[in-house]
Amino acid sequence: MSAPYRNLEEDEFSVDSAGSQSSAGKFSSAEDGSSPPDVEVVGMRDFSSIGGAGSKSIRGKVRWKACLALAVVSFLLLLVIILIVKLSSKGDSGDAFPWDDIRLPGNLVPSEYKIFLHPDLDKKVVDGRVTIQMTAVKTTDSILIHAATMNFTKTVLRKKGSSGSIEINQPPKFSKNLSMACLDLSRTLEKGGVYELVIEFSYNLTDRLRGFYVSSYMEENATKVIGSTQMEPLSARKAFPCFDEPGMRAKFSLELVHEPRYNVTLFNMPKKKETEPYPEDTSLQLETFESSLSMSTYLVAFVICDFAKVDTVTSNGTKVAVYSRGVQQNQMGLALDVLNRTIPFYESYFNVPYPLPKQDMAAIPNFEAGAMENWGLVLYRETALLYQEGVSKTSQKQRIVVVITHELAHQWFGNLVTMKWWNDLWLNEGFASYVEYVGCANLYPEWGMMDQFYLETSTRGLVIDSLSDSHPISVEVRDEDEINGRFDRISYDKGASIIRMLSNYLHEDVFKAGLHKYLNDHAFSNTVTSDLWDALSAVSNINVTELMDYWTLQMGYPLVKMSRQGSKVTVTQQQFLISPQGKPSSVYKSKFDYKWKIPLVFTYYDGTVKYSSNIIDANKDSTSLPIPESTSWIKGNSQQYGFFRMTYDRDNWDKLTDVLLTDHEKLDPVDRAGIFDDAFHVFRADMLEMEVPFGMIDYLEKEREYVPFATALANLGFLKDMLQFHASYGNFTTYLKKVLKPAMTSLTFEDEGEHLEMLLRADLVEFLFDIGDETVLQWMQNNLQANVSTVGVNLYPIVRCGRVMLGQTQEWEDVWEEYKVNTIASENLVLLKTLSCTRDPALLTRYLYESLSNDFVRSQDATYVISYVLNNPAGTHLALNFLFENWDKLADMLGGGVFTMTSLIKGMTSWVSTPVLAIQVERFFDEKYLDATAGQKVPVLQAFETMGANVLFMEKNGERIAKWFAHKSIVA
């Protein structure tokens, strides 16, 4: 599954590689700022020093009363907890529910589901029936099965081959907390016996974007309804009763009743026969689909719609098709081309044939995830699938290709072979997040995707995993919130990064041979992480488990230091934490004491560039490596394959800086990106002098490659966010305008050139626009009346934003009306962002409340609206107050989805750098998440840690940074 943040572009709200808000998007031309309040903070969790003179004496007078009150409250709280525990152990009927584990007991294993569904999409109701064939692997006198928000109207149980039924004691017990039903049986099921369970059920459809749900859209002045699904991770149980665990694979067939106006019905498999009248009501139609191959419940998918399609057949004979709304038919060409070319490529790459007769992809108007890899029927947000030449930006084209290649990689790694339980989710998502780049690079080698991997994936994983409140890749999950929480940058980005590191270490051919063995050995079954390591070990004759356990069973990663002494280099390591006050996690203990076995390749220069490959032992305090005496400089982590950060002795740092400033092309572009990124982050962690990273900035006057330049902009974006309320902001932007001017002059405002050149131009123009660069602002004003064909698709969003920013209410209304009737998917987010450009508080407030209405702004897009307004300096505090006042409404509307709520939390906090605002935000979340589960609190704790690190950064460095840029602005 592609999480929504994986469908974001660089110029949309996200957490960038510097760990801050995206550097572009605030559209501020302000040159000055104000100093933060003079408030001392002793760590983000210790605010006792705030309160002014006399506060201690006041606290002393009330301390005894507070203690008494605390004792009373604690006693009452204990009683409440006891009561909750007792109530939670009961079923919905009040009877004791006989199970309290999120995992099923495993005494019954399904092998086949026959599903019948009769939905009424207008009335939002479903009647259904499921027939489940299952085997008793243990004796049992009850059946525990997942079922959420539905009623059982009839249940029948019989042993296969027997005409009689086994009596079920009615009514069944339900547990809302576990989403389970318990059927008490009149007799014991025999071990090894095969049984058939028939359940008739009914439920109401919702628009919550989970399970089987309905949504609507406008087309040709009419409201149309669509029924679609999102089962991962725990929502198949909302569509039909099932054993809803990934390890309980089975075959699925479907009969679906619908009205004739829905001319398209889709399932994981093709139709078994032609559409026929439904016998019980011939005004309706019945579709019957073939049985699937064995798969997990979360991969079941079906759609009821009246979409258009484009289709073809791959070179290996697989039928492929893309579906979307009829008015979007001309936007499906890119997706079909990528689908048609990628399936044969993956068949060759994995050396495993695609096992299904067809592969469909459909663009769903309202969809929570970025995309979902359902076997044979991948579902997408419209913005992740549909592309319009001459309208969609270059970055949008790349994002669409990457999302598609991600989901298609899952057809093998995730669907053919599936993780046994959610603690190993990274096996699915980390692998697909790596292979998406391989698939994209095959289609478009000129895009430099394997270098872009560092910018788009590695750096983001490094940011989140530098927090004390991170977690290991493979970790036990104990409830629904913890399962949802695993769909994060650790599973996706860190998972992909360590796979890439391992592939480089083993070499690509050996790595591919190991994947082939893994997929063949475990086809149509479930695995754990060690199964992948075993397959790779078998083909490589290397103990992969011994190496990779360091990277999957403990959180974090190392900071590797290389110190030069003549003809040797001494290598040491320690855990890297972004906060100088950070400490190793108290939640996840490390059996390796936060040491890693590290595949280290380093570059050294002794007249020519050379490489050295090594393994750094986790059990040694230091390792000595030989180099020629004539070596001028060394650069660790060559081509950024390793998931770690580098630092050096000061002399080597200075030599690397000199190379960047005088002859930067001696280094590969991705190595230049790594040097810049490491220097800034090691400085932020208070382990490197400020002069090192800041001394590198001038090199950008000569840089023209996309990956290092974009990496630098991300780090400069962090500084911009930290300084936006500081007196030094004007000097900072004056200096940056001077440094970035040569690149802008070289690139020009002509939206043309190679793919990477167009990406760089768009990022640079938006960054300069954001900091008020006079040349860019003048260009924007000169083109306020221009159209997209005049300025180009990649720069037109700046012109649009300028119109709204400098215009009146009417300019905003014009864009709003355009958004409401827009049918070009890639334009939706551009228009939503444009609407946030206004400086009018009344319009921004109105816009924020539109995100709650679901009338025009779809619920899937509400977080974009809020995040875009947060990015506008004129709207930052409006958006914060809006969130403070409407958090519960948003959580209810969005279903508390981990993707959406996490993005909002980060949007509210990642840029905060003043103590007063940090305290205000923290108190808000302390109250909202007081009774939250551990899984729900993770993004909040990460947000607190990020704010704390920001505040400490500015307290320690604010004045020194101000002096640096004051001097630089004079020179500029």
Residues with catalytic function: 407
Q: How far apart are CA 330 and CA 227, in angstroms?
A: 23
Q: Could you tell me how many helices (H) and strands (E) the chain has, helices first?
A: 29, 28
957 phi-psi bin (left φ>0, alpha ψ -120 to 50, beta other): alpha
Is residue 825 within 8 A of residue 382, CB to CB? The reply is yes
Query: What whole-number distance in Å separates Cα of residue 66 and Cα of residue 105?
Result: 47
Q: 362 near 266, Cβ under 8 Å?
A: yes
Structure tokens at 420: 């046994």
* Angle at the Cα of 571 from the Cα atoms of 570 and 573, rounded to 5 degrees: 145
Cα separation, 833 vs 828, in Å, equals 9
What are 969's two structure tokens? Answer: 């602005």
| Beta strand extents in 904-944 (DSSP E only) | none
In 819-837, which positions are buried (b, 16+ CB within 10 angstroms) versus exposed (e)? beeebbbbbbbbbbbbbbb
Question: Reduced to 3 states, what is the DSSP secondary structure of residue 556?
Answer: coil
Query: Which residues lie closer than 8 Å to 392 by C-beta, 6 or more apart?
Result: 400, 793, 824, 826, 827
Q: Which of 193, 191, 172 is nearest to 182 (CA)?
A: 172
Strand order in the sheet with 211-219: 211-219, 222-230, 302-305, 264-267
Other Cβ atoms less than 10 A from the Cβ of 45: the count is 11
280: number of CA atoms within 13 Å, CB side? Answer: 4
At position 223, the amino acid (one-letter code) is T
Strands (E), 190-230: 194-204, 211-219, 222-230
Assign residue 847 a region: left if phi > 0, alpha if psi is -120 to 50, beta otherwise?
A: alpha
User: What type of residue is 516?
Assistant: H
Q: Report the distance separating Cα 150 and Cα 236, nearest Å.
A: 12
Query: Rounded to the nearest 10 degrees, how much is the dihedral formed by the CA atoms of 844, 850, 856, 862?
Result: 90
Q: Name residue 936's amino acid.
A: Q
**Is it true that the peptide bond before 36 is cis, omega within 30 degrees of 0?**
no
Both tokens of residue 544?
Answer: 């992969």
